[in-house]
Amino acid sequence: MSANRPAAVVVLAAGEGTRMKSATPKVLHAICGRSLVGHVVAASRELDPEHLVVIVGHAREKVVAHLAETDPEVRTAVQYEQNGTGHAVRMGLEALGDSGIVLDGTVVVVCGDTPLLTGETLRKLSDAHAADGNAVTVLTAEVPDSTGYGRIVRDEATGAVTAIVEHKDATDAQRAIREINSGVFAFDARLLVDALGKVRTDNSQGEEYLTDVLGILREAGHRVGAAVAGDHREILGINNRVQLAEARRLLNERLLHTAMMSGVTVVDPASTFVDVTVTFEQDVLVHPGTQLLGATHLAQDAEVGPNSRLKDTTVGRGAVVDNTVADGAVIGEGANVGPYAYLRPGTRLGAKSKAGAYVEMKNAVIGEGTKVPHLSYVGDATIGEFTNIGAASVFVNYDGVNKHHTTIGSHCRTGSDNMFVAPVTIGDGAYTAAGSVITKDVPPGSLAVARGQQRNIEGWVARKRPGSAAAQAASAAERDARPGTQETDGGQ
């Protein structure tokens, strides 16, 4: 733990975010598997603050419920009317005070709409703040286009920060400044409380600006400092959905960069999408068009894609997953999945097993070396080891009211086009005939045949479809056939 653990981090998230044009509050929009405010809270956590307070206002029930799920330790404070960033921080500090908390040390303020901000940058800011003994340190950045941002005004002679001027309040000369306020600050707690009481609302928006605290502290003779962010893209604030997409792209790039540097081959980063919660081992190979979501983990030498979407799925060592959609599945070591497989929650594929082309599985436990190679639905089932399920089989698990379970043993060979009408059990080493509808248990080692007998009605086409192409083809075949070699099975 760092020596300068902040007393509190205050996250501003009360605004509506009108420019998102959304029924969902801005800070709950998500990129890379986490809400905007969730990213900011996670970065703030890296500072290990004594208190973490999120200021909520607009749609606060939704925001509070979301925070309770993502980080139950977070406190929330309500700002009933959005009277500005200074007012928001004041509400947060007052709420802490009402809970009997006396802040002493550093208070870090961040905005809830800057998802690319890293814990590392926050750490640098708070370290610089402590090292310089500042009353306030603002995180700034040089941006290509400073439109809309608060401008950092510096003393021409000394270079010291003298004020932050909001875009709407800025002169033309000030608007030309490229260095902007990121909205992230480190404050001395006591001086902040004092200065917030002096912030006025005589500006173009009639709001209490947090940025005015800088001028107030400076005029009172306190040290005001700035830390310049190494990468201006990190402080990108999301105000609309174009910026949301841009932030998603940048964060995705960052996540893939980390993965590649740790030994993952990403064939095409531009068409590969990952959530922050995805983990990789070395020598994983990810093909184009792949989305890796939630708590997905890819073990060493796993190969995923192209065109796959895995959510909360574990892929074992050396397993191959091709053109597959999986959700909540566990894929064993060396298993083979796809192309065109759909693995739903509760699927557990054993080592070296197979879920092949056009196979859907749900709540199915498949033993080591067992294969379901083609065109099948396996739902609510347990299958032992080294069994082969014939093509086009359906585990008939639903009677219209309840779901039932099918159990198939080890070393079984089930025929193609079988229906296993659950609940049903097939013993170890049993076989079933192609086209069977299995409704009764099959003892170990038996062959089950459950289908109608075939009968051939000879001459039917000549009688019922005379002159048709079929009848002509049949009579040609009869002419060509050597007598005595025709075999029929039970004609009439």
Active site positions, annotated: 374
Show the binding pattern over residues 190-229: x = contacts Ca ion (CB under 5 A), - = does not: ----------------------------------------
The one-letter amino acid code at 356 reads G
Could you write out the DSSP letters of every residue in 44-67?
HHTT--SEEEEEEBTBHHHHHHHH
CA–CA gap between residue 450 and residue 417 (Å, rounded): 11
State the nearest-atom distance from the C-beta of 42 to Ca ion, in Å. 19
Where do the DSSP E strands lie in 89-247? 106-111, 136-142, 151-154, 161-165, 179-188, 224-228
State the nearest-atom distance from the C-beta of 17 to Ca ion, in Å. 8
Residue 99's CB is within 10 A of a number of other CB atoms, namely 11
Radius of gyration of the chain (CA): 33
Q: With respect to Ca ion, which residue has the nearer C-beta, 182 or 252?
A: 182
Regarding 15 and contact with Ca ion (CB under 5 A), the answer is no
Q: Is 209 annotated as a binding residue?
A: no
Partner that binds at residue 353, options ligand UD1, Ca ion, none, CB closer than 5 to 8 Å by kind: none
Q: With respect to Ca ion, which residue has the nearer C-beta, 55 or 341?
A: 55
Q: Is 252 annotated as a binding residue?
A: no
Q: Is 416 annotated as a binding residue?
A: yes
Residues 6+ apart with CB under 8 A from 190: 103, 104
Q: With respect to Ca ion, which residue has the nearer C-beta, 241 or 440?
A: 241
**Residue whose tokens read 């760092």:** 2
Regarding 115 and contact with Ca ion (CB under 5 A), the answer is no
Regarding 17 and contact with Ca ion (CB under 5 A), the answer is no
State the nearest-atom distance from the C-beta of 218 to Ca ion, in Å. 24
* Sites of contact with ligand UD1 (CB under 6 A): 12-15, 55, 79, 82-85, 87-88, 111-113, 149-150, 164, 166, 180-183, 209-211, 237
E strand or H helix at 321, and its extent?
strand 320-321
Regarding 237 and contact with Ca ion (CB under 5 A), the answer is yes
Q: With respect to ligand UD1, which residue has the nearer C-beta, 88 or 95?
A: 88
Are 78 and 61 spatial neighbours (Cβ–Cβ below 8 Å)? no
47 exposure class (CB count in 10 Å sphere: 0-12, 13-18, 19+): buried
Pairing relationship of beta strands 151-154 and 136-142 according to DSSP bridges: unpaired
Pairing relationship of beta strands 388-389 and 106-111 according to DSSP bridges: unpaired
Handedness of CA 295, 301, 302, 306 (dihedral sign): positive
Helix and strand element counts for the chain (H, E): 10, 37
Give the residues across from 374 on adjacent strands: 357
Q: With respect to ligand UD1, which residue has the nearer C-beta, 59 or 189?
A: 59
Taking CB atoms, the residue at the shortest distance from ligand UD1 is 150
Q: With respect to Ca ion, which residue has the nearer C-beta, 237 or 415?
A: 237
Structure tokens at 1: 């733990």
State the nearest-atom distance from the C-beta of 335 to ligand UD1, in Å. 45
Residue 167's CB is within 10 A of a number of other CB atoms, namely 15
Site size toward Ca ion (CB under 5 A) is: 1
Q: Is 391 annotated as a binding residue?
A: yes
Summarize the annotated binding site as residue ranges.
Answer: 12-15, 26, 79, 84-85, 113, 150, 166, 181, 239, 344, 362, 377, 388, 391, 397-398, 416, 434, 451
Q: What are the residues binding Ca ion (CB under 5 A)? A: 237
Summarize the annotated binding site for Mg(2+) as residue ranges.
Answer: 113, 239
Summarize the annotated binding site for acetyl-CoA as residue ranges.
Answer: 391, 397-398, 416, 434, 451
Summarize the annotated binding site for UDP-N-acetyl-alpha-D-glucosamine as residue ranges.
Answer: 12-15, 26, 79, 84-85, 150, 166, 181, 239, 344, 362, 377, 388
